[in-house]
Amino acid sequence: PVVRLTPYPVEYNGRLRLMVIRIPETGALIGLLAKSDMRMLDLPVAHRASQRKLPLPLEFVSGYVELARETLIIPNMQAVLAEPVLA
């Protein structure tokens, strides 16, 4: 399945990529839509606690922190995948 992590409509264009990840608990493969400018970070990374109000339900978030110029959100993939698909 391809999972959309935003409640907002997604405009499919040349700036999106499909990132495929494996869920460790089940071995299942899923696809996530990602911006083409997405990057990997080496851990640990300098961060501070976030006071931001996120525009998504917190049950779908494992954690979130502020980096130098952006907010890093770590999704709770088990909760995301357990959510029923809306037709």
pLDDT in tens, 23-69: 887 888 888 878 777 788 888 999 999 999 998 889 989 999 999 99
Q: Using 50, 70 and 90 to split pLDDT, how confident is the model at 87?
A: very low
Please report whether residue 8 resides in a domain. yes
- Does residue 20 contact residue 31 with C-beta atoms inside 8 Å? yes
Closest alpha carbon to 74 in 5, 25, 8 = 5
Give the chain's domain count: 1
Please report whether residue 87 resides in a domain. no
Please report whether residue 10 resides in a domain. yes
Q: Containing domain of residue 55, as a range?
A: 2-82
Please report whether residue 30 resides in a domain. yes
- Does residue 64 contact residue 71 with C-beta atoms inside 8 Å? yes
- Asked if residue 1 has pLDDT above 60, the reply is no
